[in-house]
Amino acid sequence: MQKFVYYAPTEIVFGRGTELRAAELVKKHGGSRVLVVYGGQSAKKSGLIGRVTKNLEENGIPALALGGVVPNPLVSTAAAMAKEGREFGADFVLAVGGGSVIDTAKGVAHTIASPEHEVWDFWSGTKVTKSLPIGAILTISAAGSETSNSAVLTNDLIEPHTKRGINTDFNRCRFAIMNPELTMTLPKYQIGAGAADIFMHTSERYFAAVLGNHLTDEIAEGLFRDIIFYGPRGVQDPSDYEAMSEIMWCGSVSHVGLTGIGSQGDTPRDGDWACHQLGMAISALYDSTHGATLTAVWAAWSRYVKECNVARFAQFARKVYGIAEPDDGKAAEEGIRRTNEFFRSLGMPLSLTELLGHEPTDEEIEAIAEECTYGRKRSIGSFRVLGYDDIVAIYKACR
């Protein structure tokens, strides 16, 4: 096991009715004027935004609620919210939603705290040195942004649009309120995409260049088994509290860094992350659902890289699916096949053609690869390092 620093400061408040503890937690973490960030009108129509703002205001905390965050969240939205939040005098940002809303709230908090900068500055090289405190009330189990140090935004102010992520401890939420009942009204497709993203956050850390972290592996393999069992149950019956609570907790644990401890070596990232980079490039150009982009590329990526350490894929197959095949190559292939079955049980696409609704041309694939490599200026991955030609080959394999 490599040396590591593990930092997970977010206070978790889990269970039914916990959204009514928002004011208590905001005060505990230093807030007195709150900017509430949310997504579409469903959060308002359901009464959730009203319950949250009422709870804040009845406890002497003025609140300004701003909606409009979309999936694959936009820089323009974060910039507009930061401007209004600064004029309001917000000293705390509370995200009510899923990963897109929470990531937007992070961008808003950084920008309000540093009025000399634009939102995209922080996603294009400027170091975050201060931020407003952030809290989250989770309504979508997927991204794990409520416990992670990462945030992803799409810059819609330039053409072509580009999507980037940043990692900083200023992205850490002070608290995360997690009531599984708030996820029960989601469309089944969104629940399935979320479960896929949870699986992939674990996969990206499990298929690392540095191995030999046995307790970490056990935690990751247990999380795989849990989301494989409960993900389809949640899709089939979103009113199943047990399933939705397991999915919600898997989402947070999958992205808090716990399943990658000890795998960093001399690199700052705790895993491979190639599939996320492949998927982010697709969603930047086609606005595709994030979890669906990951299921469309995972099998092709796996088959392209598995010979770098086929025993690792065989271990995954045996420990996660109970596959008894003694031959590593055959076990690895069966593990990939079974994972595609899991993705299909979530209602997710297994190819680019299925994802996009048409078969992408070579020119389209090359454009996605250009976005993925930032104009051929970077490689991705660590399990196997992938350059532009490798990335084109993977996209063509999952066409």
Distance CA 241, CA 246 (A): 8
**Topology of the domain comprising 11-182:** Rossmann fold (3.40.50)
Question: Can you give the residue ranges of every domain in the chain?
Answer: 11-182, 186-397
Distance CA 170, CA 361 (A): 41
Distance CA 325, CA 337 (A): 14
User: What is the per-residue pLDDT for 36?
Assistant: 98
- Fold equal for 11-182 and 186-397: no
Looking at per-residue confidence, does 265 or 21 come out higher? 21
Quick: pLDDT tens for 295-339. 999 999 999 999 999 999 999 999 999 999 999 999 999 999 999
User: What is the per-residue pLDDT for 39?
Assistant: 96
Between CA 119 and CA 394, with CA 202 as vertex, the angle to 5 degrees is: 80
Looking at per-residue confidence, does 3 or 141 come out higher? 141
Distance CA 313, CA 339 (A): 11
Q: Which residues on adjacent β-strands are paired with residue 36?
A: 65, 94
Backbone φ, ψ for residue 324 (5° rounding): -95, -5
What mean pLDDT comes out for the span 241-258? 96
Closest CA to 352 of 278, 267, 264: 278
Q: What is the pTM of this model?
A: 0.94
Q: Which residues on adjacent β-strands are paired with residue 165?
A: 152
What mean pLDDT comes out for the span 114-119? 97
Closest CA to 78 of 166, 177, 157: 157
Map tokens 């950084």 to a residue: 110
Residue 27 has pLDDT above 60, yes or no: yes
Contacts of 90 (CB under 8 A, 6+ apart): 33, 34, 35, 64, 112, 132
107 three-state secondary structure: helix
Distances (CA, A) of 155 to 26, 40, 54, 287, 388: 30, 20, 33, 12, 22
Q: Which residues on adjacent β-strands are paired with residue 97?
A: 138
Domain 186-397 has CATH 3.30.420.10: no
Quick: pLDDT tens for 215-224. 999 999 999 9
CB atoms within 10 A of CB 41: 11
